[in-house]
Amino acid sequence: MGHRWYTEDYPVKVLIEPQGVIVALVFKTHSHLLFVTRRFVGYRRIRTADRIVARAGYSAPGSLELIRRTYGPGGPAAS
C-alpha cells in the first residue's frame, strides 16, 4: 500500500492517497467534498458529524462507498 498524506487545516482538509484525492471544505454542520478517483470525479455534500472520511480509513474510494451506504442516492437530508 502506498503513502497517504492528510492535512486538517480547518476549514480546508486535503487527503492524497494512492487511490484518489479528497479536498474538503468543512463547516459546522456540513462538509463539501471534491473527489478525484479513477471511478469518480465530482462533488458530495455530507454531514460533518458523520466523520465519513475517518470512518472509511482515510480512503477516497472507501469514503465514496460509505457515503453511498449512509445517505443513499439522494445525499444527506436537509437539517
**What is the tens place of the pLDDT at every residue in 33-58?**
999 999 999 999 999 999 999 999 99
Average pLDDT over residues 48-72: 94
Return the pLDDT at 76: 72
Give CA–CA dist 37/68, Å, rounded.
15
Give CA–CA dist 55/42, Å, rounded.
20
- Which residues make Cβ contacts (< 8 Å) with residue 76, sequence separation at least 6? 30, 45, 46, 47, 50
User: pTM (2 decimals)?
Assistant: 0.83
**Residue 75 above 60 pLDDT?**
yes
Length of the chain: 79
Which residue shows C-alpha cell 492517497?
17
Give CA–CA dist 56/63, Å, rounded.
5
